[in-house]
A and B are shown apart, each in its own frame.
Chain A
Amino acid sequence: MAPEPLAGSVEEEVARGVADIAEVARIADVVEACALVAAHPERVVPLVLMAASTAQPESVDTRIATLDEQAVLRRASVLLLTDRVLHDDLSLSVDRDRLHAVMTCPWSPGILAWHARAQTVRWLSTHRPTDPRTRALVAVDGRPVAQPESDLLRLLELDTHEVATQLLAGVERVLGPRPRLLLPAGTRLIHEGVDVDAVLVVLRGRVALDHASPTGDLRLHHDSTGSVVGLLSLAQQQRAFFTARATTEVEVVHLSFEQLDRALAVDASLGAAMAAVSIRALAKRLRRADQLQVEKTQLNHVLERERQQLSEALHLLEQARLDLVEQARYATLGEMATGIAHELNNPVAAMLRATTYVGEDLERVLASHPQGRLASEIFAAERDRAPRSTREERAARRHLEAALGDIGLAQRLFDAGIEDPDRARALAADPPSLDLAEAVAGIGSAVRNLEVASRRMCELVTSLRAYARPKGEPVAGVDLHAGLEDTLRLVAHRLRDVEIERRYGDLPPIRCHPGELEQLWTNLLANARDALGDGPDGGGRIALITDAPDARHVRVQIRDNGRGIDPQVLPRVFEPRFTTKQGAVRYGLGLGLAIARRIVDAHGGTIELSSRPGCTRVTITLPVAGPPDDEDIET
């Protein structure tokens, strides 16, 4: 493929080279080339000879790419004939391995013919091994009939052993027959660290190369020494880097540096054999070195992966350790809470009793007082005074203020529990009686507050103990209904005016922490009770509804018809220390729903709360299988 007149001379010469195996077609450019193969699809094209000159603007890459659009041409070898001194337009072709030879134009006579023929023969032997033309050109063993002209390349095509044999034969031609040495396995042929001044031609047997390292002897190569041992060290005239050791019985010929030198000097053709032997040995060892590098990289990958796994394992261990520390801390806190609860029991009991005694004793003291009846009455009224809202109290006080016209006096009388204006006026007119009334009213409210306070402390102690109770293993086969009934009995005193409705379904026995669940029901029942308020008219109703939504879960609903929870605060009710309650928080540490959620979570269940005025519903779903085994309830 070249413009005239170049194409003419190219054709002429190429034809000389390949006349017996191929036909030469002369065309001007790639377009024509494509048209030609399209017109004759049956043709086989082994070689495209492409001329490139400074006069042609189109890049070699573009032209080859165009050729490659034709399947027939895509397989052809490409030979570039150029008169340019520099090409920067064929990187793609090189990268795709589409450029097989580059020749200069003008060329020495004959070289083009020779080259074209060689390329064509090579192409045929590769692509059309069964072609009759190929058989004529290529030997049965696949080797081209035409041998390379250079000794070195010719020798390189032989196998290592053959080259060594040829080398030895050459050496023996010069030096006369050499004795064969028979060495047993284990013999060291070359010693690491010792100067090498001889080579050994291995005729039979296997040799390994070992290298001493701080971590022990490393076997770097085995059977990859080539047939001539020591040549590399000799070439560099230095100490051997390896120890060469026979691993089987070996038969070798020993050639000293001087003998080798003499043989090479006399027969120059031995140089090619030496070079071939060296290149083969080097190539083999280089391949082995590359392979070792690949193995090293792979090992490093494996090591890196293992290092990461170790690092993850370490991280998990550290996490587990922290969890254990945390658990230990909670366990300590739990023990402490239990201890405090027990320690508080006695003082609280004493306080509660003392409150009663103070009341009884005061009544006895007052019995002997001249104004005893009045005093007893005021004391008892104040002690038993029912809670009223501050709004109601303020209204009552204003009423008294209006009746008496003296705000200060009204306040004193009101604080003494006197709200009836006539009685207030009478007492106001009798200062000693007013003093007495104020005093006993003060005692009365103090006793009442003491009693309320100590009762609350009792409840706190109880729930603190429940909260901190050491956790045992979950118990299997627990009847939820029995637990609910137990709880109802325990809190019966609080549910006196409440109608309890039970709608129990069929429940399988479950695995759980029964004590925890009892605390859960207690909390929820107390919440429901408190939501009903203190309306005297009754009508408060709490419903307990149980069922099993599927074979693996049980469900408990606690509904009340109380005032409901403000939608704004509903999302916050599970937060610790959040309360919607007026006055005393009746149960627990103000952690009611937070504790409830913790208990349910620890059982692997769910708790849901929905509320509107007149209907608040807590739904607990628990797995029949109980808490996850590895996750005890954390306190």
Chain B
Amino acid sequence: MKLALLILEDERPVREALRRDLALFARHVRIEEAEDVPTALEVIDEIDAAGDRLALVMADHRLPGISGVDFLIGLAADDRTAAARKVLVTGQADQDDTIRAINEAGLDRYVAKPWQADALCDMIRDQLTEFVVAAGVDPLPHLAVLDAERALAIVRERGDL
């Protein structure tokens, strides 16, 4: 089982930039991209069919015909994706949208464009760890992309080590 990370972003350059910034996760985490919501739902189906777990979704705020917030709200209602960490990437969210995202979508993080690669990676690592802790996933196979200290603390508690 692999952890999966979904990037939902309609602009190719932004998608590519995100993927390149997250390259160091790519060897251990399944990174998928989608340019619109229907594709994103297909990807989620594929991840589920392959027996992997969707651990984190990064959604652009502005998508064709739908707001990233609405998409994330939809994920919160789906059993397969409810546990996934939800990150909104935005250049323009106003306060109402942000409040809605936090209250209804259980938004975990909020990334403003343009972002700093280091901070982005730290945040992703942190969120993946949160997912592992909250979902009760065995952290050992994914240690490379987790906050090692916290992950090992779980393992120690379990008494495996």
Binding site for B on A (CB under 8 A): 387, 389-391, 393-394, 408, 411, 415, 442, 445, 448-449, 452-453, 566, 569, 577, 579-584, 590
A387 to B11, CA, bound (A): 10
| Contact, CB under 8 Å: B11 / A389 | no
Partner of B13, one of A449, A566, A579, A582: A449
Residues A583 and B27 in contact in the complex (CB < 8 Å), given A390-B34, A390-B39 = no
| Contact, CB under 8 Å: B64 / A581 | yes
| Contact, CB under 8 Å: A584 / B11 | yes
| Contact, CB under 8 Å: B65 / A583 | no
A511 to B34, CA, bound (A): 48
| Contact, CB under 8 Å: A577 / B35 | no
| Contact, CB under 8 Å: A393 / B26 | no
- Chain B residues 73-100 with CB under 8 Å of chain A are 92
A63 → chain B closest CB, angstroms? 77
Cβ-closest chain B residue relative to A408: B27
A415 to B23, CA, bound (A): 10
B130 → chain A closest CB, angstroms? 25
A-B contact count (CB 8 A): 48
Instruction: List 17 interface pairs A-B (beta carbons < 8 Å), by A numbering.
Output: A390-B15, A390-B33, A390-B35, A394-B33, A408-B26, A415-B19, A448-B13, A449-B12, A452-B12, A569-B65, A577-B92, A579-B62, A579-B65, A580-B65, A581-B64, A583-B10, A583-B12
Instruction: Report the 4 A-B pairs with minimum CB-CB distance, sorted nearest first.
Output: A449-B13, A390-B35, A390-B33, A390-B34
A339 to B12, CA, bound (A): 30
A391 to B64, CA, bound (A): 16
| Contact, CB under 8 Å: B32 / A389 | no
| Contact, CB under 8 Å: B33 / A452 | no
Partner of B64, one of A449, A453, A582: A582
* A residues less than 8 Å from B20 (CB atoms): 442
Cβ-closest chain A residue relative to B46: A394
Scoring B10, B13, B36, B43 by chain A CB atoms within 10 A of each residue's CB, the highest score goes to B13
A566 to B33, CA, bound (A): 24
Partner of A582, one of B15, B36, B43, B92: B36
Cβ-closest chain A residue relative to B16: A445
Residues A453 and B12 in contact in the complex (CB < 8 Å), given A390-B34, A390-B35, A580-B65 = no
A257 to B46, CA, bound (A): 122
A408 to B26, CA, bound (A): 8
Apart from A387-B12, A577-B62: 7 A-B pairs, beta carbons within 8 A: A390-B34, A390-B39, A391-B42, A394-B32, A415-B19, A582-B10, A584-B11
A96 → chain B closest CB, angstroms? 69
B133 is an interface residue with CB less than 8 A from chain A: no
B17 is an interface residue with CB less than 8 A from chain A: yes
Scoring A387, A449, A453, A577 by chain B CB atoms within 10 A of each residue's CB, the highest score goes to A449
A584 to B13, CA, bound (A): 9
Residues A394 and B11 in contact in the complex (CB < 8 Å), given A449-B16, A583-B35 = no
| Contact, CB under 8 Å: A579 / B11 | no
Residues A579 and B39 in contact in the complex (CB < 8 Å), given A452-B13, A584-B11 = no
Residues A389 and B26 in contact in the complex (CB < 8 Å), given A394-B43, A566-B65, A582-B10 = no
A582 to B62, CA, bound (A): 10
Cβ-closest chain B residue relative to A453: B13
